[in-house]
Structure 1
């Protein structure tokens, strides 16, 4: 009987130990909603953050900034929002979803005309667009920041209406890039950062900035339970390593930030 009791005690002890170990391994989740164009920057910063925060698991949701905002407005959980649009951040702040005092602009971008064909950059982008006969991939201006920026740029050139019938709309910046890389569109209007990482898309020229500067702001959720961790990631993003990664992947670092 004593042997049976000792054996049972050992089993209970081992089970308790396993339970404690499982509980110790549970990690808090820092949920980040990030513009699709930031995927490479995020991948480069994640290892350093995980090393300094071993008890935190990063959960990143990528998409167009406007669609991400819609998800969060409908109740999708998040702790930090990295947007490709100041307008979306401002709307989140107005609705009380992010802390306005936490908003920081951490990157900028430019629009370029890209193609999977040959490109020597000697012909103005406007001329290439007007003389071509193929499809032109752009972001949807009604739902994607890159599309809004593109529409403003082409209106600045006075050619938006002329190109309208040849436009193919992408759901986010990365889908526009895929249309170009696959040859489903002769040209695409991309962020310079997306063209920078592509092995198939070549920059044929730059497009002018429209009325809205392309700036990437970040903001911390007002109701986050991981405020310190969100602040730490934001510090990483805006610090030396983050700034270097941003520049390494074709973005610009705003002056004074």
Structure 2
């Protein structure tokens, strides 16, 4: 009889402990599966997105952002060719529209605005002037390749509308993206170059000669998008949404970008 008295509390204790263990297990959230997002962005965003990437991964430890940078046209071509890209941030409405028309992109959203400027090497003694005066006496003008680089497209539009393109086209040095234009001017391989205001702000080796008038080119707008073939659409959408939030806006504006209206 004593054995029975002793065993009943032990049985109840064991049952209670098991119940608590099951309850605790049920309350413990399952770890989030790790996801790597392959993201492609316009070269002009490299510094700003590099900082945002660190902030986002710190707040979302299960997400790893693998971001590559290049000309928006080149990124578009890679998406069309089926490269493993989950999301994009392009500096071109035209390239964004082409991806939508090709059935490759969804959930696009206008995010940012930028300004086109002409820069010189800081060691160059030329003074600030208007577009016509600047390009009249230079032998090498760096622009992004208009076929694949939006900044180059905007530069060409500006020169054409100002009726200057034919006069300077033999002096144009083509670059693969806007950051290469900046590098050409920094190294002295071109006397002046057309870059975004945000690129000029990243360099202590160049100075802005002039802002290019907005009415000489299409609006400079940046669009986010989710690639239709992505297996991580929800994660891409979440990151794209984060890019529009106040913490990202603070970083983007620090680098000279303006949030789109």
TM-score, normalisation: structure 1: 0.84
Pick aligned residue for 2:35 from 28, 53, 63: 28
Cα deviation for residue 98 of structure 1 reads: 1.2
Deviation at 1:153, TM superposition (A): 0.7
What is the SS of the residue equivalent to 2:142?
strand
Moved over 4 A (4+): none
Measure how far apart 1:211 and its partner are: 4.2
Q: Which residue of 1 aligns with 2:57?
A: 50
1:36-79 Cα offsets, whole Å, 9 max, x none, are 11101111111221122211211112110100111111110111
Match of residue 103 from structure 1: 108
More deviation, 69-78/246-255: 246-255
Match runs of 1:212-231 below 5 Å: 212-231=218-237
Q: Is the 8 A contact 2:73 2:147 kept in 1?
A: no
Give the direction of change, closer, same or farther, for the CA distance of 1:108–1:76 in structure 2 (3 Å limit): same
| Contact 2:86 2:233 survives alignment (8 Å) | yes
Partner of 1:83: 90
Query: How many Å apart are 1:143 and its aligned residue?
Result: 2.0
Aligned-partner Cα distance in 2 for 1:144–1:178: 15
**What is residue 175 of structure 1 aligned with on the other side?**
180
Write the distance in 2 (CA, Å) between the matches of 1:29 and 1:52.
15
Match of 2:130 among 104, 124, 130: 124
Gaps of 5+ in 1: 1-23
Residue 157 of structure 2 is matched in structure 1 by 152
Whole-Å separation in 2 of the counterparts to 1:223 and 1:229: 13
Offset of residue 112 of structure 1: 0.6
Tell me the residue number matched to 2:212: 207
Report the aligned-residue RMSD: 1.7
C-alpha distance in 1, partners of 2:125/2:66? 39
Q: Is 1:59 paired with 2:92?
A: no
- Tell me by how many angstroms 1:119 deviates: 5.5
Task: Give the aligned length.
Answer: 228
C-alpha deviations, 1:177-227, integer Å up to 9, x for none? Answer: 000000011111111111111110100111123342110001111232222
Structure 2 runs not aligned, ≥5 long: 1-30
The aligned residue for residue 237 of structure 1 is 243
| 8 A Cα contact 1:119 1:203, kept in partner | no
Question: Where does residue 142 of structure 1 map in the other structure?
Answer: 147
Q: Deviations over 1:18-51 (max 9, x none)?
A: xxxxxx9983211101111110111111122112
1:68 aligns with 75
| Higher Cα radius of gyration | 2
State the SS of the aligned residue for 2:103: coil
Separation in 1, partners of 2:90, 2:259: 15
